[in-house]
Amino acid sequence: MQRRQFLFLSASSLGGVLLAQCGMNQGSNSSSSSNAAPVLKSENRLLEADLNIGSGTFSFNGHSGNLLSYNQQIPGPRLEASPGDTVRIRATNRLSQPTNIHYHGLHISPQEPADHIFLQLSPGETYTYEFTIPENHHSTTAFYHPHLHGYVADQCFGGLGGTFAVRGKLDEIPEIKQAQEEFVFLKDFDLNWQKTKKGMMLGREGSLATVNGQMDPSFSISKGGLLRLRMVNASISRFYRLQLENHPFYLIATDGGATSVPIEQSELLLSPGERAEVLIQGNQSSGSYRLLNLPYERVGMGMMGNGMMGERKNQGNETETLATLTYSGEEIEPLSLPKQLIPLEELPEPKTVRQFKLNHGMVPGQGMTFLINGQAYDSQRTDTRVFLDTVEDWEIINTGMMDHPFHLHTNRFQVVSRNGQAVENRTWKDTVLVPRGESVRIRIPFRDFVGKTVYHCHILDHEELGMMGIIAMQS
Ligand SMILES: [Cu+2]
């Protein structure tokens, strides 16, 4: 099988180790042939991993740039565990600035030594994260990335990020077990990212749109087969409006876990921080089909050309080819789609309804700032206090001129309505797109964990510019 190679490490601060991903699985037709990330799985109920956070030179088609990586790999190693497993991650910071790790999409404690995003891991320091994935945790395609305010957007734009898969009940459904599985880690790069501060208002996008650290990798499907794509939008600002030529997507999971039945969609929009899993049926004629990123306008026209926005650098009107699906191997007896997945839990009508207004504006002395309810992020202020074992509705209202994906840590939620209209196929989410001028109502059960954490816009440049609030969960 021909594989196009993308990023390889030519030298690094850690000693010029060649990155293995280019040679991995070369010539193999295995289901993981397109996925460059090495996998670290739990054994005997324990996932133990060392993550070295460093920088090094990565090259693309002869152009080199200094990027950030976990274990000198882009994307970082894929972590896999199951409900009930203990996770122990020794993170060593070899950067010249502080960092930390957020486990996006895991329902775990926001306190030390778990998903504590206020923790500062200083240069040279090693910190051991340790937590147990609850026994009743949902199956999910989650991910990990830095989350230290002031450094989040740069460090993610610089290359840091990796998949964290929790395998559970969804994975046990026979039709899904039979499907071939591929991870699709969507991330864009700018080899001059350290100099690219312009465009933070819009949200920076790199010119290289990669899948698993590669430009246009190939995935294979056998005629009659089923392919399960587990997709993560790990870009800091880029949206992906995905379409696979001639093949509909059958949505089986969103950020917060499985849907109740497969939902047929001709395309799928993933804003930063969102994930989705789809099944694809190998029922077309043999050949190659492109996975496309279609144009999507995430910024209103009013924002253009007013000088404050800097140079416009986003996908605008261009269609990109992200990957190619090729029929290969022997034709098999057609595999069928599952009929039922995981029934959606019905949440009670809440007593508490809150509103969160998203916008941006000029703040004297701070310039253009991104705001929630008129306030920019302040690490010393608690914005929202909630009680454990309650359910709340949050109405997220975007009064601005740009789309904002809203992400809540620790607890997942269900999207109940958009612009006052009930949502038909409710699913579990932890990141929801709130388009400009629109409102979205989400229903959140606060469960299991107390402590402080955050909610924010997942266009990470907007988070850095203030669009984040602190939530305290108390018993
Ligand atoms: Cu935003």
Tens of pLDDT, residues 175-197: 999 999 999 999 999 988 887 67
Q: If you measure from the C-alpha of residue 360 to the centroid of ligand 1, how many angstroms do you get, rounded to a whole number?
A: 9
CATH code assigned at 272: 2.60.40.420
| Separation of CA 401 and ligand 1 centre (Å) | 10
Binning the chain into helix, strand and coil, the percentages to the nearest 5 are 5, 45, 50
CA of 179 to the centre of ligand 1 (A): 35
- Cα of 341 to ligand 1 centre, how many Å? 32
Transcribe 71-102 into DSSP letters. TTBSSPPEEEE-TT-EEEEEEEE-SSS-B--E
- Give residue 30 CA to ligand 1 midpoint distance, Å: 39
The conformational region for residue 465 under phi > 0 = left, psi -120 to 50 = alpha, else beta, is alpha
Residue 337 in any domain: the answer is no
Both 140 and 185 in one domain: the answer is: no
pLDDT for 368 equals 82
**Cα 174 to middle of ligand 1, angstroms:** 39
Q: What percent of the chain shows pLDDT beyond 70?
A: 88
In a domain, 45, yes or no: yes
Residues 382 and 458 in one domain: yes
Q: In this structure, how many other beta carbons lie within 10 angstroms of the beta carbon of residue 297?
A: 16
**Angstrom distance (rounded) from CA 292 to CA 240:** 9
Tell me, yes or no, whether 371 and 449 share the same domain.
yes
Judged by DSSP in three states, 156 sits in helix
Judgement on whether residues 318 and 424 belong to the same structural domain of the protein: no
Is 336 within a domain?
A: no
Amino acid in position 12:
S
Q: 299 CA to middle of ligand 1, Å? A: 10
pLDDT tens string 18-76 = 232 332 222 232 333 444 678 999 999 999 999 999 999 987 667 788 999 999 999 99
CA distance 82 to 134: 9
What's the gap in Å between 158 CA and the centre of ligand 1?
19
**Residue 439 belongs to domain spanning:** 352-474
- Classify residue 346: in a domain, yes or no: no
281 and 307 share one domain: yes
297 and 211 fall within a common domain: yes
Q: How many CA atoms lie within 13 A of 202 on its CB side?
A: 29
Are residues 150 and 210 part of one domain? no
Alpha carbons 277 and 257: distance in angstroms, whole number = 9
Which two tokens mark 168?
Answer: 């559970």
Dist. CA 403 → ligand 1 center (Å)? 6
What's the CA-to-centroid distance between 213 and ligand 1, angstroms? 25
Amino acid at 464: E
Distance 116 CA to ligand 1 centre (A): 22
Considering only CA atoms, which of 452, 449, 412, 453 is closest in space to residue 432? 412
Could you tell me if residue 69 is inside a domain? yes
- How many CA atoms lie within 13 Å of 347's alpha carbon, on the beta-carbon side? 22
Q: How far is the centre of ligand 1, averaged over its atoms, from the C-alpha of 141 (Å)?
A: 22
DSSP state of 291: E
| Co-location of 155 and 188 in the same domain | no
What is the phi/psi pair of residue 320, to 5°? -110, 150
Query: Distance from the CA of 331 to the center of ligand 1, in angstroms?
Result: 46
- Distance between CA 213 and CA 127 in Å, rounded? 27
* Domain co-membership, 141 together with 33: yes
CA 37 to chain centre: 15
State in Å: Cα 240 to ligand 1 middle. 15
For ligand 1, the distance from its centroid to the CA atom of residue 408, given in whole angstroms, is: 13
| Spatial distance between the Cα atoms of 280 and 262, rounded to a whole number of angstroms | 11
The last residue of one of the domains, among 129, 148, 167, is: 167
Most distant CA atoms of the chain, gap in Å = 67
Strand partners, 457: 406
| d(C-alpha 281, C-alpha 199), whole Å | 40
Q: From the CA of 274, how far away is ligand 1's center (Å)?
A: 13
455, part of any domain: yes
User: Could you say which residues of the chain have pLDDT below 50?
Assistant: 1-35, 305-313
Expressed in angstroms and rounded, the spacing between residue 374 Cα and the centre of ligand 1 is 14
What's the rounded Cα separation, in Å, for the pair 105 and 255? 7
CB atoms within 10 A of CB 20: 13
| Whether residue 134 sits in one domain with residue 59 | yes
Asked if 397 contacts 354 with a C-beta cutoff of 8 angstroms, the reply is no
At residue 287, what are phi and psi to the nearest 5 degrees?
150, -165
Q: What is the pTM of this model?
A: 0.91
Domain contains 344: no
8 A C-beta contact, residue 469 and residue 408:
no
SS3 310: coil
* Residue/partner pairs of 306-311 with CB below 8 Å, 24 or more apart: 308/201, 308/368, 309/199, 309/201, 309/202, 310/198, 310/199, 310/200, 310/201, 310/202, 311/198, 311/199
Domain boundary among 104, 134, 167: 167
Same domain, 244 and 377: no
Residue 341 lies in a domain: no
* 375 Cα–ligand 1 center, Å: 14
Q: How far is CA 406 from CA 84, 101, 454, 469, in A?
A: 29, 19, 11, 11
Q: How far is the CA of 169 from the centre of ligand 1 (A)?
A: 33
What are residue 187's DSSP bridge partners? 210
461 neighbors 434 (Cβ within 8 angstroms): no
Q: Which two tokens stand for residue 243?
A: 């379409």
Number of structural domains, the chain?
A: 3
**Tokens representing residue 322 in the block:** 């992200």
Model pLDDT, residue 227: 98
Residues 312, 406 within the same domain: no
Distance in angstroms (rounded) separating the CA atoms of residues 418 and 440: 4
DSSP state of 268: E
